Amino acid sequence: RTLLLILAQLLLMSREHNSFDTPRRRARRPSIIRGPEVQPPRPNQSTYWVTDNLIAGEYPTDRRGEERTREKIRGYLDAGVRVFLDLTHEHEKSDYRRILFEEAAKKGVQNVEHYRMPIQDFGIPSKEQMEEIL
């Protein structure tokens, strides 16, 4: 149930404009959606802390080029992110795994993991999919 709330929030955040998402409504949401009261530094403005040890954010590639993608990934690594859960389908977006592992190696980070568990874009995963992801 919590994951469904988080996924719903991610869908809301990904839309360009949502006239129903007002500051007043955001203030009334359960705290699990707002994240921890004291937020650790975020790797970039397109991320937020869901809990003290779970960060959610946009896909890490950057349309402006590979160096920007590397900067984003270095930011995640510097924030302590070690497990990357990719919810996109293969070939849906540019693959960032090579860059992820290269940047981790440069920083001497050895325990980085990447998993792909695709869900339909703007879809709702089945109960079985959610259990598998968790």
Name the CA radius of gyration of the chain, rounded: 15
Which position has the higher pLDDT, 19 or 1? Answer: 19
- The yes-or-no verdict on residue 8 having pLDDT over 90 is no
Q: How far is the C-alpha of 117 from the C-alpha of 78, rounded, in Å?
A: 24
What's the whole-number average pLDDT of the chain? 79
pLDDT tens digits, 75-116: 999 999 999 999 888 888 999 999 999 999 999 999 999 999
pLDDT tens digits, 32-54: 455 556 777 888 888 888 887 78
Bridge pairing between strands 47-51 and 54-57: antiparallel
For residue 41, give Cα distances in angstroms to 18, 44, 46, 70: 26, 9, 12, 18
The predicted pLDDT at position 16 comes to: 41
The predicted pLDDT at position 28 comes to: 59
User: Domains in the chain, please, with CATH?
Assistant: 2-133 (3.90.190)
